[in-house]
Amino acid sequence: MIDLILCILFSSSLFVIFKLYNTYKVQTLFAIITNYFVAGIFSTFFYEESIQLSSIPEKSWFLPTVSLGFLFITVFYITARTSQEIGVSVASVASKMSLVIPVLAGVMLYKEELGGIKIIGIVLALIAVYFSSLKNRTITVKTGTLVLPLLLFIGSGLVDTSIKYIQTTFVPKHEFPLFSTVVFSSAGIFGVLFILIRSFKIPLKINYRNILGGIVLGIFNYLTLHFLLRSLQNDFSDSSSIFTINNVATVLFSTLLGILLFKEKLIPKNWIGIGLAVISIILVALF
């Protein structure tokens, strides 16, 4: 349970870091790419064995993990596009409601059971995410841009499902840090390729704020994945419960951080969402 709590804390901190990017004029895309390399390097500190680069491609989990790295950077990019073109609220709802995908995968792939009370808890979790993300202003969404939240929903769900599948099927527990190194480094390399291709149209400029912002984000990003992997290895709950509690509690704690640190205002529907989030966590955790 401690691992899950730490995962929630570090995951919620990522939203605070992104919020501070606007304050300190950090370019999100470049900071994200930097963050992946930093997270990859940082994860090597937790690997107790010596690292032989030539042997890594021979690992059974290498190719699936490289593919996961591509999925990481793609979903981050879609998240940014969704936030910019439609709104942060829509991006948050689409991302966190994707918990349905790993929950269903847990039932179908790992024969995890969903009791009646647990199903109610998951439904309440989805409603809680929706209400927690509502704002006073009305968001107008063009039909053509609906594809972005749909892709974000699917992509976020596939990330969580893939992490669980690769971890369960291929990666020994002692190789979790090495797995993290490969997935983060792969995401970083794909990101570099993207900006190099884009540089033919938009010239590259080195900004030290982007690098510093990426370093901070990278450390917190690694710790989020590190404790998520550890929590999925627990004996007290299955993956469907872990993903539900993690996603809803992250929304809940992020909202509280927004109130405390940035004086964000909540409308009555947000408080309803917070209340439902607490109830859903209790139901899923206990049953």
pLDDT in tens, 212-244: 999 999 999 999 999 999 998 876 678 888 988
Hey, how many other C-beta atoms are within 10 angstroms of the C-beta on 184? 28
- CA 220 – CA 59 distance, rounded (Å): 26
User: Where in the sequence is the domain holding 275, given as residue range(s)?
Assistant: 2-286
At residue 235, φ and ψ (nearest 5 deg) are -105, -5
Pick 68 or 239 by higher pLDDT: 68
Residue 36's pLDDT band, with cuts at 50, 70 and 90, is very high
- CA 15 – CA 21 distance, rounded (Å): 10
Q: What tokens appear for 265 in the block?
A: 């205002």
- CA 159 – CA 228 distance, rounded (Å): 12
Dihedral, CA of residue 15, residue 277, residue 157 and residue 286, to nearest 10: 120
CB-based contact 218:34 (threshold 8 Å): yes
Dihedral, CA of residue 245, residue 22, residue 195 and residue 201, to nearest 10: 140
Q: What tokens appear for 37 in the block?
A: 């390399």
Q: In this predicted model, what pLDDT tens digit does every residue of 167-192 receive, in sequence order?
A: 889 998 889 999 999 999 999 999 99
- Report long-range pairs for 93-96 (Cβ below 8 Å, ≥24 apart): 93/129, 93/130, 93/133, 93/149, 94/149, 94/150, 94/152, 94/153, 94/156, 95/152, 95/153, 95/156, 96/129, 96/133, 96/156, 96/247, 96/248, 96/250, 96/251
- Please classify residue 63 by burial: count the beta carbons closer than 10 Å to its beta carbon, then call 0-12 exposed, 13-18 middle and 19+ buried: exposed
Q: SS3 helix, strand, coil % of the chain, rounded to 5?
A: 80, 0, 20
Domains identified in the chain, total number? 1
Residue 37 is predicted with a pLDDT of 95
Residue 136 is predicted with a pLDDT of 62
Please list, residue by residue across 75-101, b when 16 or more beta carbons sit within 10 angstroms of its beta carbon and e when fewer do: bbbbbeebbeebbbbbbbbbbbbbbbb
Q: What tokens appear for 206 in the block?
A: 């080195």
Q: What is the pTM of this model?
A: 0.85
- CA 99 – CA 194 distance, rounded (Å): 28
Average pLDDT over residues 32-48: 91
Pick 213 or 205 by higher pLDDT: 213
